Structures are given as structure tokens and as C-alpha cells.
Amino acid sequence: CALFLDLDKSDNETSSGQAPIEEKETELIFVHIGAKEFTLPCKPEKTDVVIGMNPTYNWNLENGENVTLHSGASLILHAFRAEESGRYTCSISFTEENQLHTMTFSHTVVGYHIRGELQVLLIFQSNSCDKLLTREFVRSLHRQLSQLVSHLHCELVSGSTTCFPTVEKPLDEFNLQVELKVTPFGKDWDKSCYPQTDSMPLECYHSAVQKNLQEAKEAMTEFMDKNKNFSLETSNGSHISFVNTFFNFLEDGKCQDGYGQTQELQSYCPDCCSELSR
């Protein structure tokens, strides 16, 4: 993610020595994966700490990055990614009674996501189970549906594809079963939640997830209602048809790979999943 830095010159140097460094551990901080923006304060709001003159804030990130802020104590994270979870340490240096003081606050930042996605099942009837033809058709279908949902802040993920003969005409007709998944965390998925006042605006996030999925569901339904017969041209110039005979959605509340329900997060958000490695 990108860091928003506001740098002004300041001088904290003192010739009267340095007081012992105070170290404080904070609670876990949860940041939603893909969140447009998240403000990470140096010290918790409830912490009763008085900061002296000319403070300088130095952030050390687990990935080795080092950031110094001379005005403003908060680190602003943009487009948060799972791999950016970890330990964020902020050291505050300031002068008090001609002595340099340093306080260190350690934050453990953990990525999480709201459970919510759509499982999509489609069945097409065709006169061929040729692997190359079915693969090309599934790619074309995925491309068309992906364009629909991407405009609605969702992403389309490919699932399994199975081709098998029909019961009525096992030698001449085949069913192509296509499984897809719609996730509500596409580009700008939480756009409606900004500017935000809550550091973890779960109510808004939930609304955004439901809205994104519902709009994607309606768009895909309309598209499939209007497009029952799909034609694909073969290498010899002939055409093969794939006729849609079944189309349905199933809401899925599973956690994504690498995520699970943890006690720390579940008490605040029962339908959220956090990274299991943290």
C-alpha cells in the first residue's frame, strides 16, 4: 500500500542526555483487505500520554521500511494488502526539561475480510465435450461476465468445469457444468464508505458488500436471460452451440484461503475472517 507522508522540518536534538525509552504494546488492529484508506495512529486515543515539545514520529515496519514524520503522528495506509499485515512500531521523540524522551508504541496489524461471495452454477448443453472447444467457450463466457461485474466493484473467479453426457442422448448430447465465484472486493469496492469517521466502519463495509453482490447478481441474471444460446466457431469454420439450461446462485459464507475466524475478531464482527498466520 502507499503511505501518505507530510514532512516538515523539526529539530529534536538536545545536549542534556536522553531519558529511558518507554515501550508500550497495543491491542490488535484489524484492517480490511483492499480498504481504500486506513489511518494508523501512533498512540491509542485512550492512552494517557503527554507529549513534550517538537515531537518527531518514527515508524518502523515489519518489512524493513522506515518512515519519519515531523508533523502528524498517524500513518495512512492505502489499498491495504494481506502481505502488509505485521508489526508496526512508532517511536515518539520529544524534548522535555532539556532532555530527549522517547516513547515506543508497537501495533500488530492484521488483515481481515467480511464473509460474502456468490457461488455461480451454470449448465450448458452441447453436442461436443472437446477440451479445446469447451475451454475456449468458458474463457469467452468468463471474459463477458467479468466485464459485467468489474464495473460493479466485484471480481469473477474461475471454478471447476465438468463435461458429461446427457441421460437422454449419451452419445450425441453433453452437459457442460461451469462453476464461478463472485467476490465483492473488486476495485473501489468500499468507495461509498469515504470519507470515514470510524477506524473500522463495519456497518458501511457490510452495506457495500451486500450492494456490490446484489448488483452483480442482477446484472448477470439479466445477461443470461438475454443470452441463452452461445455460438463458437471451430478451426474448420463450422459453429458449435452451447445452450444454457441451468443458471443459479448460492450465497457463500466461507472464509478465503489463509483466513479463518479468530476469537479476537469474532467478538466484534462475527461474520469476519482474519489471517490465521497472525
In a domain, 57, yes or no: yes
Of 114, 149, 179, the residue that ends a domain is: 114
> Do 32 and 71 belong to one domain?
yes
Per-residue b/e over 241-269, b at no fewer than 16 CB within 10 Å? Answer: ebebeebebeeeeebeeebebbeebeeeb
Does residue 15 lie within any of the structural domains?
Answer: no
Asked if residue 229 and residue 122 are part of one domain, the reply reads yes
The number of distinct structural domains making up the chain is 2
Residues 160 and 205 in one domain: yes
Q: Are residues 147 and 232 in the same domain?
A: yes
Which residue type, as a one-letter code, is found at position 179? E
13 occurs within a structural domain: no
At 15, list the grid cell. 545536549
88 and 131 co-located in one domain: no
- 28 and 78 in a single domain? The answer is yes
Does 238 map to a domain? Answer: yes
Q: What pLDDT score was predicted for residue 51?
A: 72
My answer on whether 128 and 236 are in the same domain is: yes
Q: What is the model's pTM? A: 0.78
Q: Which long-range contacts (CB under 8 A, 24 or more apart) does 215-223 make?
A: 215/152, 215/154, 216/118, 216/148, 216/149, 216/152, 216/154, 216/182, 216/184, 217/118, 217/182, 217/249, 219/148, 219/149, 219/152, 220/120, 220/145, 220/148, 220/149, 220/182, 221/247, 223/144, 223/145, 223/148
Whether residues 27 and 109 fall in one domain: yes
258: in domain: no
- Asked which of 57, 91, 114 is the last residue of a domain, the reply is 114
Q: Give the residue numbers spanning the domain of 158.
A: 118-253
Residue 262 within a domain: no
pLDDT (0 to 100) of residue 163:
97
The one-digit pLDDT tens for each residue of the chain (278 residues) are 544 333 333 333 444 456 666 677 777 889 999 888 888 888 877 666 667 777 888 898 877 777 776 566 788 888 888 888 999 999 888 888 788 888 898 999 999 999 999 999 999 999 999 999 999 999 999 999 999 999 999 999 999 999 999 999 989 999 999 999 999 999 999 988 876 655 557 888 999 999 999 999 999 999 999 999 999 988 777 889 999 999 999 987 788 888 998 888 888 888 999 987 65
**Do 137 and 102 sit in the same domain of this protein?**
no
Same domain, 125 and 187: yes
**Domain final position from 70, 98, 114:** 114
Residue 236 and residue 131 share a domain: yes
Residue 13 has a pLDDT of 42
Q: What is the pLDDT of residue 11?
A: 39
CATH number, position 100: 2.60.40.10
4 found inside a domain: no
The answer for residues whose C-beta is within 8 angstroms of residue 195's C-beta and 6 or more apart is none
Question: Same domain for 169 and 182?
Answer: yes
Query: Is 11 within the bounds of a domain?
Result: no
